[in-house]
């Protein structure tokens, strides 16, 4: 059942809808959609949020799903009042750039998720953007689901359609929607992780190739920075999800616990992979710096060796350039070529000695 549901959702994820399109917001500037579900079946018609909530509560069954994109403070306050959200929960919706978390406020679950997308690039540079992040908040109450998205990470419309094709799952209530949204975000994490592996392989190949000079510490550092941003989006979710599936007081349908456990397992996998990537990048960076240091030492040894060779003729020429009257072989006809030959022989012997030691 879990695999079939995930397969349907993956097909839906491949289709993205621009949230900024006017046709996606017929109910207001930030309201993407407002739908009523009863027994897992979408009810016909389009309602304002107030009428949808009133209809659900009057019927005593079903729930309403309201989706917001980049809402204003006034719109958030209106929704918070309509759904009687806890003041702290509504504050999270008002202020962007929240830390990922999963919390319970009375009978409402709040999930703050970071949506992640891998940014394709021709080659890795010191300023490449590799991981693009957005933000998604999910409020799941007894008879409502409120989603608040920020950033252009794709619409929840395809996800909604995938859920509607599995009414038995959607009939489990708002918590089923919470699972589906969280599962989608975690699936995106897995895709980003696989894509990052290719960048790591590229950098590793450059550092340990024969042409190690093609590697750049700036590229490695930029990749590490993007990896840390990805880690901040994923790692905080690991512990709350584990607590959600293990806590006996969690407001979940028992049938949904295996689904959340599956998501928690994937988050743990991504977290472990990020830690492994981070350690590997540290090793690659240290290896690159060691290679740079070794290359500098090689250059210094060559410079020192050539300086020692050049010092011999410099010293001889310096002595004979002092213009004293009494100097060895000064008036000998073969003194000049003999001095040149002596300097060449000395330079040759020193050069051969340095070659034997590997300095040249």
* Each residue's pLDDT tens digit, 107-163: 888 999 998 988 888 777 777 788 888 899 999 998 999 999 887 666 788 888 888
Average pLDDT over residues 177-193: 92
Structure letter (DSSP) for residue 119: -
**52 touches 64 (CB < 8 A):** yes
Instruction: State what percent of residues in the chain have pLDDT above 90.
Output: 18
Q: Which two tokens stand for residue 258?
A: 């295996």
pLDDT of residue 245: 81
Write down the architecture of domain 2-291 according to CATH. 2-Layer Sandwich (3.30)
d(CA 82, CA 54) in angstroms, rounded, equals: 10
- Token pair, residue 283, equals 């090793």
Contact 34, 64 (CB under 8 A): yes
Beta-carbon count within 10 A of 111 CB? 23
What pLDDT sits at residue 290?
82
Residue 46 has pLDDT above 90, yes or no: no
Q: Are strands 144-150 and 63-69 parallel, antiparallel or unpaired?
A: parallel
The pLDDT of residue 210? 64
Domains of the chain: which residue ranges?
Answer: 2-291, 295-357
CA dihedral sign, ordered 308, 312, 313, 319:
positive
Task: Name the burial class of residue 9, with classes exposed (0-12), middle (13-18) and buried (19+) by CB atoms within 10 angstroms of its CB.
Answer: buried
**DSSP single-letter state for residue 98:** P
> Where do the DSSP E strands lie in the chain?
31-38, 41-42, 63-69, 101-105, 108-118, 131-140, 144-150
- Residues 127, 69: contact at Cβ < 8 Å? no
The pLDDT assigned to 15 comes to 43
Q: Residue 187's pLDDT is what?
A: 92
Q: What is the pLDDT of residue 180?
A: 92
Give the count of beta carbons closer than 10 Å to the beta carbon of residue 58: 7
> What does the block give as tokens for 34?
């407002």
User: What does the buried/exposed string (b/e) look like for 219-234 if buried means 16 or more CB atoms within 10 Å of the residue's CB?
Assistant: bbebbbebbeebbebb
Range with the poorest average pLDDT among 75-89, 190-204, 266-280, 321-335: 321-335
What pLDDT does residue 182 have? Answer: 92
Query: At residue 339, does pLDDT exceed 70?
Result: yes
Residue 63: band (very low, low, confident or very high) from pLDDT cuts 50, 70, 90: very high
pLDDT for position 190: 93
Q: How far apart are alpha carbons 189 and 183 in whole angstroms?
A: 10
d(CA 13, CA 154): 9
pTM: 0.74
Segment of 27-31, 33-37, 245-249 carrying the highest mean pLDDT: 33-37
Q: How confident is the model at residue 214 (pLDDT cuts 50, 70, 90)?
A: low
CATH code linked to domain 295-357: 1.20.58.340
Cα–Cα distance measured from residue 315 to residue 241, given in angstroms and rounded to the nearest whole number: 77
Strands (DSSP E) found in 154-204:
none
Residue 276 pLDDT greater than 90, yes or no: yes
Length of the chain: 360
Rg (CA), the chain: 34
Q: How confident is the model at residue 27 (pLDDT cuts 50, 70, 90)?
A: very low
For residues 237 and 128, give the distance between their C-alpha atoms in angstroms, rounded to a whole number: 26
């Amino acid at each position: 059942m879990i695999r079939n549901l995930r397969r349907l959702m993956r097909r839906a994820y491949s289709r993205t809808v621009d949230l900024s399109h006017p046709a996606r917001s017929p109910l207001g500037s930030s309201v993407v959609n407002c739908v009523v579900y009863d027994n897992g079946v979408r009810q016909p018609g389009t309602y304002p949020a107030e009428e949808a909530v009133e209809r659900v509560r009057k019927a005593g069954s079903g729930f309403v799903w309201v989706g917001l994109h980049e809402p204003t403070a006034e719109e958030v306050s209106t929704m918070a009042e309509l759904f009687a959200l806890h003041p702290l929960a509504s504050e999270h919706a008002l202020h962007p750039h929240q830390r990922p978390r999963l919390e319970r406020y009375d009978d409402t679950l709040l999930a703050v998720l970071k949506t992640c997308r891998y940014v394709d690039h021709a080659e890795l540079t010191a300023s490449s953007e590799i991981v693009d992040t957005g933000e998604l908040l999910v409020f799941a109450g007894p008879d409502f689901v409120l989603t608040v998205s920020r950033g252009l990470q794709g619409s929840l419309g395809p996800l909604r359609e995938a859920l509607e094709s599995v009414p038995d799952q959607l009939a489990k209530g708002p918590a089923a929607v919470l699972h589906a949204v969280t599962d989608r975000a975690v699936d995106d994490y897995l895709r980003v992780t696989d894509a990052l592996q290719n960048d790591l392989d590229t950098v590793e190949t450059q550092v340990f190739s024969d042409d190690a000079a093609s590697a750049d510490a700036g590229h490695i550092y930029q990749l590490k920075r993007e990896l840390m941003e990805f880690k901040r989006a994923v790692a905080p979710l690991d512990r709350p999800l584990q607590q959600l599936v293990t806590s006996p007081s969690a407001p979940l349908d028992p049938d949904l616990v295996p689904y959340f456990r599956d998501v928690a397992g994937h988050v743990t996998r991504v977290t472990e992979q990020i830690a492994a990537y981070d350690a590997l990048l540290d090793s690659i960076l240290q290896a690159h710096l060691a290679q740079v240091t070794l290359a500098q030492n090689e250059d210094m040894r060559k410079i020192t060796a050539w300086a020692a060779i050049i010092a011999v003729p410099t010293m001889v020429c310096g002595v004979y350039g002092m213009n004293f009257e009494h100097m060895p072989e000064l008036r000998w006809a073969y003194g000049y070529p003999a001095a040149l030959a002596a300097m060449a022989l000395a330079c040759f012997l020193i050069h051969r000695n340095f070659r034997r030691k590997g300095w040249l």
